[in-house]
Homo-oligomer: A and B are copies of this chain.
Amino acid sequence: MSTALDALFRPRSVAVVGASRDRTSISADILHNLLRYEFQGLVFPVNPRASVIHSIKCYPTVEDIPDEVDLAIIAAPRAFVAAQVESCGRKGVKGIVVITAGFKEVGDEGAVFEAEVREIVRRYGMRMIGPNCMGLINTDPDYRLQGTFSATTEPLAGNIAFSSQSGALGEAILALMSQLGLGLSMFASLGNKADVSGNDLLEYWEDDPRTRVVLMYLESFGNPQRFLQIARRVASKKPILAMKSGRTAAGARAAVSHTGSLAGTDAAVDTLFQQSGVIRCNSIEEMFVYASALATQPIPKGDRVAIVTNSGGPGILATDTLVQLGLTVAPLSAATQARMRPHIAPEASTVNPVDMIASARGPQYEACMSAVIEDPDVDAVIAIFTSLESIDSMAVANGIIRGAGHGKPVLVCFMGKVSAKPAVAHMKACGLPVYTFPEEAAHAMWALVRYRQWLERPEGRVIAFDDIDRAAIDRLIGGARGEGRKMLTLAEAQRLFEACGIHVAPWREAASDLEAVEAADTVGYPVALKVSSAVITHKSDTGGVKLSLGDPDAVARAAAEVLARARDTDPAATLVIQRMAPKGTEVIIGATRDPKFGPLIMFGLGGIFVEVLEDVAFRLQPLTDIDAAEMLDEIKGAPLLDGARGHAPADRATLRDVLLRINALLTMYPEIEEVDMNPFMAGPTPGASMAVDARVRIHR
Binding site for B on A (CB under 8 A): 24, 26, 29, 102, 106, 149, 151-152, 164-169, 171-172, 175-176, 178-179, 217, 219, 243, 245-248, 282-285, 310-314, 316-317, 319-321, 323-324, 347, 358, 386-390, 415-419, 436-437, 439-440, 607-608, 611-613, 636-637, 639-640, 644-645
- Quick check: B171 and A247 within 8 Å, CB to CB? no
CB distance from A135 to the nearest CB of B (A): 13
Considering the complex, give the chain B residue whose CB is closest to the CB of A442. Answer: B283
Neighbour of A439 across the interface among B24, B285, B310, B314, CB < 8 A: B285
A578 to B102, CA, bound (A): 78
Closest to A613 in B: B636
The answer to whether A169 touches B246, judged by C-beta atoms less than 8 angstroms apart, is: no
**How near does chain B come to A367, taking the closest CB pair, in angstroms?**
20
Given contacts A168-B313, A168-B386, A439-B283, contact A323 B611 (CB under 8 A): no
Shortest beta-carbon distance, A393 to chain B, in Å?
A: 10
CA distance A168 to B414 in the complex (A): 11
Q: Can you list 25 pairs linking A and B with CB atoms under 8 Å apart?
A: A24-B390, A149-B389, A151-B387, A165-B313, A168-B314, A168-B386, A169-B311, A169-B314, A171-B416, A172-B415, A175-B387, A175-B415, A176-B415, A245-B317, A282-B439, A284-B317, A284-B437, A285-B437, A285-B440, A608-B637, A608-B640, A611-B645, A612-B639, A613-B613, A613-B636
From residue A28, how far is it (CB to closest CB) to chain B in Å?
A: 10
A419: chain B residues at CB < 8 Å are 151
Q: Is the CB of A386 within 8 A of B172?
A: yes
Is B313 a contact of A217 with CB atoms below 8 Å? yes
Q: Give the 7 A-B residue pairs with the shortest CB-CB distance, closest first.
A: A168-B311, A166-B313, A172-B415, A151-B417, A169-B313, A283-B439, A168-B386
Most buried by B among A178, A284, A611: A284
Complex copy number for this chain: 2
* Complex CA–CA separation, A358 to B149 (angstroms): 13
The residue on B at minimum CB distance from A149 is B389
* Complex CA–CA separation, A251 to B9 (angstroms): 58
Known: A416-B151, A613-B637, A636-B612. Is A310-B389 also a contact (CB below 8 A)? no
In the bound assembly, the distance between CA atoms of A387 and B437 in angstroms comes to: 27
Q: Hey, which chain B residues are within 8 Å of A611, CB to CB?
A: 644-645
CB pair A316–B612 under 8 Å, yes or no, is no
How far apart are A357's CB and chain B's nearest CB, in angstroms? 9
Residues of B within 8 A of A417 (CB): 151-152, 171, 175
Query: By the criterion CB–CB under 8 Å, are B636 and A247 in contact?
Result: no
Instruction: Report yes or no: B418 in contact with A179, Cβ–Cβ below 8 A.
Output: yes
Q: Which residues of chain B have C-beta atoms less than 8 A from A313's C-beta?
A: 164-169, 217, 219, 245
A418 to B178, CA, bound (A): 10
| CB pair A246 B316 closer than 8 Å | yes
Query: Given A151-B416, A169-B314, A608-B645, A246 and B320 touching (CB < 8 A)?
Result: yes
User: Min CB distance, A469 to chain B, in Å?
Assistant: 36
Tell me the complex Cα distance, A501–B139, Å: 77
Docked-complex contact B312 and A168, CB < 8 angstroms = yes
> Across the interface, do A323 and B283 meet the contact criterion of CB distance under 8 Å?
no
Q: Is the CB of B284 within 8 A of A248?
A: no
With a CB–CB cut-off of 8 A, which chain B residues contact A416? 151, 168, 171-172, 175
Minimum Cβ distance to chain B for residue A533 (Å): 22
A437 to B282, CA, bound (A): 12
Set of chain B residues within 8 Å of A386, measured between Cβ atoms = 168-169, 171-172
- A663 to nearest B CB, angstroms? 27
**Residues on B with beta carbons closer than 8 Å to the beta carbon of A248:** 319-320, 323
